[in-house]
Structure 1
Amino acid sequence: MISIVSPFYNEKAILEASVRLMLKNLAALDEDWELIVVNDGSTDGSPEIARRLAAGNDRLKVVSYTPNRGRGYAIRTGVGEARGEIVVTTEIDSSWGDDIVPRIVATFRARPDADIVIASPHMPGGGYRNVPRLRVFL
């Protein structure tokens, strides 16, 4: 099984479309998978959107806590909930691109000796999509 962990904080404006896109892309995988979205203490109504999307979908799990504790805590929390033999962390806004999960899984499968695969926008073929310039600068 592949577990995808994607934290979010106050993403009401994009959450539904982002999760639906992720679910669509993951459905194309030839492996069993789960998507774990981690609410990092959001206050804008995005947790309710996530719970609504997860209702009746046993592949989508929502983990929530308060207060906001940061991305690192959210990732650790999501990884702790993961059941997969491969765990992929990615951004809720798909800024790494729609194909990042299949590419990471393929790399793991091609390198059974690997314990970790790290995607970097600074590697050949890497880059950002739909990321504000200020965020890239910071």
Structure 2
Amino acid sequence: MIQGIGHIGIFVRDLEASLEGLCNLLGIPRPPIKDNTDWRMKVALVEAGGLQLELVEDYSQETWVAESVRERGDHIHHFCLLSDDLEADLAALGRRGVRAKMPSPVKGLRGKRIIFLESETVGGVSVELSEP
């Protein structure tokens, strides 16, 4: 069952600079940066007011994330819904015409299983489903 919004994903060119500016704006300490060498990306989670922002930098410069940043600059990319049963939720969504972008969930940047949905089947926005 979908439990609610987990985070908002923001793609950035320079994670250090983005964290410095955002944490200064919010008046909060800087969170740790996690390096996911499998994906060749760095990620940091900023929490403020009960909302989690996931900042992602692709240091490989070779993936669709880097391409998206080259085309659009730093930007909000997606929001994530938490699911306590990805397969059941995907089946239920499929019955309502929602399609996944990938054949099955994969291990995401934070080590949880995730899957992205086809934006044209969910109102034109980018949505990720993730284990809590």
User: Given the two structures, how large is their TM-score scaled by the length of structure 1?
Assistant: 0.28
Which has more helix, going by share of residues?
1
User: Given the two structures, how large is their TM-score scaled by the length of structure 2?
Assistant: 0.29
Which has more strand, going by share of residues?
2
